[in-house]
Amino acid sequence: MTMKIHDDDVLIAARELVARRGQTALQEAAERVDELERLGHWPEHALAVRILTAVENLLDGKQT
């Protein structure tokens, strides 16, 4: 059974990552995307890409 993770939950995860890691959140999120791609963990990879995008938007001031 596949569960849909809502955009609100993705944004919460991104906000928490930025709050904990600051500017390094972007690098950490990108590294996680790369790692999951390398491992072939595609559902997790898709989620990590969504979180990376939210982190990028938060750090660029496009999202609050």
Q: What is the pLDDT of residues 39-60, one digit of tens each?
A: 999 999 999 999 999 999 999 9
Q: Domain range holding 54?
A: 7-59
Q: How many domains does the chain have?
A: 1
Residue 1 has pLDDT above 50, yes or no: no
Q: How many CB atoms lie within 10 A of CB 58?
A: 19
Please provide the average confidence, as pLDDT, over all residues in the chain.
94
**Residue 64: inside a domain, yes or no?**
no
| Residue type at 64 in one-letter notation | T
**Residue 33: inside a domain, yes or no?**
yes
Q: What average pLDDT does the segment 20-32 reach?
A: 97
Task: Please report the sign of the dihedral spanned by the C-alpha atoms of residue 44, residue 18, residue 56, residue 23.
Answer: negative
Give the model's confidence band at 64: pLDDT under 50 very low, under 70 low, under 90 confident, else very high.
low
